Amino acid sequence: MTAILDRIGRTFIRLFEQTGLWFDALWKTFTWMLRPPYDVGEWFRQMVRVGVDSIPVVFLTTMFTGMVLALQTFSGFQRVHAEQFVASVVALAMLRELSPVLVGLMVAGRIGSSMAAEIGTMRVTEQLDALKALATEPIQYLFVPRVIAGIVMLPFLAILGDALGVYGGYIVSVKLLHANPVQYKLNTFQFLDLKDVWSGLIKASVFGLILTLTGCVRGYYTTGGAEGVGRATTNAVVSASLIILLSDFFLTKILF
Amino acid sequence: MSTQPFIQLVDLHKSFGERHVLRGMSIDVARGESLVIVGGSGTGKSVTLKHVIGLIRPDKGRVIIDGHDITHMKDVELNTFRRRFGMSFQEGALFDSMSVFENIAFPLRRHTKMTEAEIRARVEECLEDVHLHNVEKKRPSELSGGMRRRVGFARAISLKPEILLFDEPTTGLDPVISDVVAELIMEMDQKLGTTTVTITHDMKVAFKIADRIAMLCNGRIIEEGTPEEFQASENPVVQQFIEGRAVGPLTEGE
């Protein structure tokens, strides 16, 4: 019995510890962001890595999600003769919810993990200590450009996702389900508000911060050699995805 | 000229979880001196060295460098203060995403306003100091252990530091290369006039480069003196370590 309590206790302590480290890193990243020198070249390199290199993944994910969404909602709405709302539902769902979340999760898998592996390897080979010994704060040199890239690039990827998702829905509805193209386009924009766009983009930006910072933090606190790097990589994706999904609810509530 | 020691470690204690690594370790290093700290694996040598440059903060005790107490210095201040140090790591700890040239140029680019030509000249000079040629374009992964170590030295001296720290400079190198590296440390020490702290378990290297040797055991300094004094020490632990015997007080109960 005590063993079970002990385990539960330890799990909670670890959870609090990790949360503390995460927010500590968040605070430090923002304070170091303001201090010179500013590695603008490195910022752009990371932006390419986070943004441009993720386009193929975002392309496939969001487009197919838009297509599936059209198919599913059509089969449901047909039963109550409300087919004309398919377009609005696809557009609203993509812009407000699916595009930011899917982009966040996909980029967490692609970039969060690679950042954790990269920084984790630097940790176990003492390169992080070497950075410090060369009077360079790793948070400033490694975290700041990555986090900036996440915050800046994710909204762009989300816009791309919005467009592709809506287009995917259009293709399926018009070509497969024989909806009227003109009517579909009209319906798409009929109930859309500018707020639907920007609330999605704010979400994407926050997710960008979460996934890059989680990757960096997991890598930074790596212990235990190659195995530790592997663990850090997996943990980065799992925790980033969880934090994204949890914060998504609260963000939606705030931005409602 | 003050008589205050340049580097002062005062009663350092440090634990990692259950493991109490340093238990009241104290030592002074005079300006310009070359101190070698020896000791078995896992006795806290690396931990001690990392305290000197503030990579690890002690649980108790103080680290004073040139009159500045760095124990509770703020991260930002400490970061700037570290420019006075050069540190060489066990496996070199070169940035593997950069070429040799970029590795050595890294601190110059970040902390000086040197032009590209000046940086190029300084990098060449540093490589010259460690007797390496035509390696600028190579990646760290293409270098041998000894060369990686030397590039690490070159990077450590590029900002002309006042204090040089060497973490196990010869571990994993063959005896000949070890001697070359030891010669190199002496050369750099003399040429730059730095205060040097080296940790090693290689007694040959220790006797060669040290002005003073200290032995760390169970988280404390148990013996210190000039190489001659150290050699003549009557402490059985020191004698066992110097001679590398399997039987003795160091290995009792194992």
What ipTM, to 2 d.p.?
0.87
Phi-psi region of A108 (alpha: psi -120 to 50; beta: other; left: phi over 0): alpha
* Residue type at B105 in one-letter notation: A
Query: Angle B80-B97-A46 (CA atoms, 0-180°, nearest 5)?
Result: 80
Q: Which residues of A60-97 are buried (b: 16+ CB within 10 A; e: fewer)?
A: ebbbebbbebbbebbeeeeeeeebebbbbbbbbbbbbb
Mean of the pLDDT values across residues A23-49?
90
Q: Give the DSSP letter of residue B250.
A: G
- Sequential DSSP letters for A160-194: HHHHHHHHHHHHIIIIIS---HHHHHHHHHHT--H
Residues A96-111: pLDDT tens digits? 999 999 999 999 999 9
The number of angstroms, rounded, from the C-alpha of B214 to the middle of its chain's C-alpha atoms is 14
Q: What percent of chain A has pLDDT over 70?
A: 100
Domains and CATH numbers, chain B: 7-251 (3.40.50.300)
Q: How far apart are CA B139 and CA B95, in angstroms?
A: 9
Whether B87 and A136 lie within 8 Å, measured CB to CB: no
Q: How far apart are CA B67 and CA B5, in angstroms?
A: 8
Average pLDDT over chain B, rounded to whole? 87
Nearest neighbour of B89 by CB, restricted to A37, A129, A137: A129
Is residue B16 less than 8 Å (CB to CB) from chain A?
A: no
Query: What are the angstrom distances between the C-alpha of B103 and each of A131, A134, B136?
Result: 11, 11, 9
Is residue B246 less than 8 Å (CB to CB) from chain A?
A: no
Q: How far apart are CA B94 and CA B156, in angstroms?
A: 11
**Do residues B109 and B119 lie in contact, with contact meaning Cβ atoms separated by under 8 Å?**
yes
Q: Which residues of B143-174 are buried (b: 16+ CB within 10 A; e: fewer)?
A: beebbbbbbbbbbbbbbebbbbbbbbbbbebe
Nearest neighbour of B93 by CB, restricted to A130, A136, A137: A130
**Do residues B147 and B169 lie in contact, with contact meaning Cβ atoms separated by under 8 Å?**
no
Query: What is the domain extent for residue A214?
Result: 2-29+41-255
Band (pLDDT 50/70/90 cuts) for residue B221 is: confident
C-alpha distance from A125 to closest chain B C-alpha (Å): 6
Q: Indicate the pTM of the whole model.
A: 0.87
Count the domains in chain A.
Answer: 1
- Report CA torsion sign: A54, A55, A56, A59: positive
What pLDDT shows up at residue B242? 85
Q: Give the DSSP letter of residue A94.
A: I
Q: What percent of chain B has pLDDT over 70?
A: 98
**Do residues B123 and B181 lie in contact, with contact meaning Cβ atoms separated by under 8 Å?**
no
Nearest CA in chain B to A134: B107
Residues in chain B: 254
DSSP reduced 3-state for B83: helix
Mean of the pLDDT values across residues A207-218?
94
Alpha helices in B17-89 (DSSP H): 45-52, 75-81
What pLDDT shows up at residue B184? 86
Closest CA to B55 of A24, A134, A224, A225: A134
Size of interface A-B (CB pairs under 8 A): 57
**Do residues B197 and B206 lie in contact, with contact meaning Cβ atoms separated by under 8 Å?**
no
Mean of the pLDDT values across residues B139-156?
88
Q: Considering only A190-194, A203-207, A233-237, which range has the smallest mean pLDDT?
A: A190-194
**Do residues A142 and A32 lie in contact, with contact meaning Cβ atoms separated by under 8 Å?**
no
Q: How far apart are CA B174 and CA A164, in angstroms?
A: 60
What pLDDT shows up at residue B253? 54
C-alpha distance from A18 to closest chain B C-alpha (Å): 17
Q: Which two tokens stand for residue B150?
A: 């030397």
Contacts of B86 in chain A (CB under 8 A): 133
What pLDDT shows up at residue A67? 93
The residue ranking higher by pLDDT, B3 or B22, is B22
Q: What percent of chain B has pLDDT over 90?
A: 13
What pLDDT shows up at residue B24? 87
What pLDDT shows up at residue B1? 44
Residues B55-99: pLDDT tens digits? 888 999 899 888 888 888 888 888 888 988 999 998 889 998 899
Whether A133 and B53 lie within 8 Å, measured CB to CB: yes
A34 part of a folded domain: no
Residues B17-32: pLDDT tens digits? 888 888 888 898 888 8
Closest CA to A120 of A234, A239, A250, A1: A234
Closest CA to B204 of B30, B33, B36: B36
Mean of the pLDDT values across residues A41-46?
91
